Structure 1
Amino acid sequence: MESSSGNGKGMAEAYEEVEGEANFESDEIERNKVGIMRALVEREDPSSKDVDDFMIRRFLRARDLDIEKATDMFLKYLSWKKSFVPNGSISESEIPSQLAQNKLFMQGVDKTGRPIIVVYGGRHKQTTPEELKRFVVYTLDKICSRMPAGKEKFVSIADLEGWGYTNSDVRGYIAALTILQDCYPERLGKLFLVHVPYVFMTAWKMVYPFIDNKTKKKILFVENKKLNSTLLKDIDESQLPDAYGGRLPLVPIQNC
């Protein structure tokens, strides 16, 4: 049915036009706030001039476009980066025990072009907290450096088959989560938890309070019987790792 406004536009077309205007206004507000935040952080830390607007936007979005909160978060990140990664990156020689566990892989993209990461929780063994943190940073930096043009987020499949108390590392999980949320905000697109044993829920209950609300919305527990169908909703068979019925072999993160 066409509208009665006499301009010949259908209701759907008119709605899309209004929605487009709303999106434009929203984008304009966001761009203005990015500019304001950039000026603030550059005044406090001149090194932030090397950071692109997309990074500043991610921190803004992580704090619901609150400039003051996002600026504080970003300045803390810059301080952390200088102290924890003084050379600008983590070398493989700094994380030998973590890499030897052969627990993290990267292969394929989902239907929106986001890279896919596979983590095998049952292979995780506790090492020093500092090495685990370095491994997390190494991994996230590697993922971000391989991000397709125009994409900012990744999708992860956390496979907990075989997970038991020997793999339980609550302090390590919280440390990794903190780095992801505070230093790499708006990078996680979705997290599929698969092959989840009941015993894992004990650790999950201890970690859950440390997960922010934005991250919680991105986490999906997948039933074993619905595993293939659930993954295929987001990932084409040609891009799905062969471990889940797809066509791509898994590639260790250090070989990507």
Structure 2
Amino acid sequence: MLNTKENGGETKEDNRMKNCNEIEQQELRVMRSFVESQNPASKEVDDVMLRRFLRARDLDVKTASALFLKYLSWRQEYVPKGSISESDIPNELAQKKMFLQGYDKQERPIAVVLGKMHIPNKRTGGLDEFKSKFLSYSIYLMQIKMCLN
């Protein structure tokens, strides 16, 4: 007789998932402990975020932790206040260089960028400034889209 849910038992797949989840939870605890010791700001990050990095690196705690800590440093540099406000990117909003156009089939936001709307300004840092502001503008739009849904 097969061990199925219909007859009250668990399938082999259920057992594998349970074991996988237990291993993942254990690795997640190890990762959290390590990243919190390296960067106290990581205490504010939830398990879902850490799990994304852990899964992206096939539960390799060392690699996932290094990647996450790099992400956290990047985030602190480009989004120092935790979010981007309209006052941080007034020119980008006025030029309407980018907008969000719904979601794709996997429910990821679609960003449409209109390069022709970019007006370079040599006085404010050129390409490097553009990259920085473009990134801030992208983050701002994603935040707005998430708030609306």
Name the counterpart of 2:46.
52
Shift in CA distance, 85/116, structure 1 to aligned 2, threshold 3 Å: closer
Q: After TM superposition, list the pairs within 5 Å mapping 1:56-205 onto structure 2.
A: 56-99=50-93, 100-101=95-96, 103-107=98-102, 115=107, 117-121=109-113, 123-124=114-115, 125-126=117-118, 128-143=130-145, 145-146=146-147
Q: Find the aligned partners of 1:10 and 1:65 in 2 and give their Cα distance.
A: 29
**Partner AA of 1:71 in structure 2:** S
Q: Which has the higher helix share?
A: 2
Q: Find the aligned partners of 2:108 and 2:69 in 1 and give their Cα distance.
A: 29
Quick check: 1:104–1:117 contact (8 Å CA) kept in 2? no
Aligned positions, number: 135
Quick check: 1:34–1:53 contact (8 Å CA) kept in 2? yes
Shift in CA distance, 27/142, structure 1 to aligned 2, threshold 3 Å: farther
SS of corresponding position for 2:137: helix
Shift in CA distance, 75/36, structure 1 to aligned 2, threshold 3 Å: same
The gaps in structure 1 that reach 5 residues or longer are 1-6, 147-254
Quick check: 1:106–1:115 contact (8 Å CA) kept in 2? no
Quick check: 1:42–1:49 contact (8 Å CA) kept in 2? yes
Q: Could you give the per-residue CA deviations for residues 106-150 of structure 1, whole angstroms, max 9, x where no partner exists?
A: 54685xxx64533334x234452221111122234445x44xxxx
What's the TM-score once normalised by structure 2's chain length? 0.72
The percentage of aligned residue pairs carrying the same residue is 35
The gaps in structure 2 that reach 5 residues or longer are 121-129
Q: Find the aligned partners of 2:3 and 2:47 in 1 and give their Cα distance.
A: 38
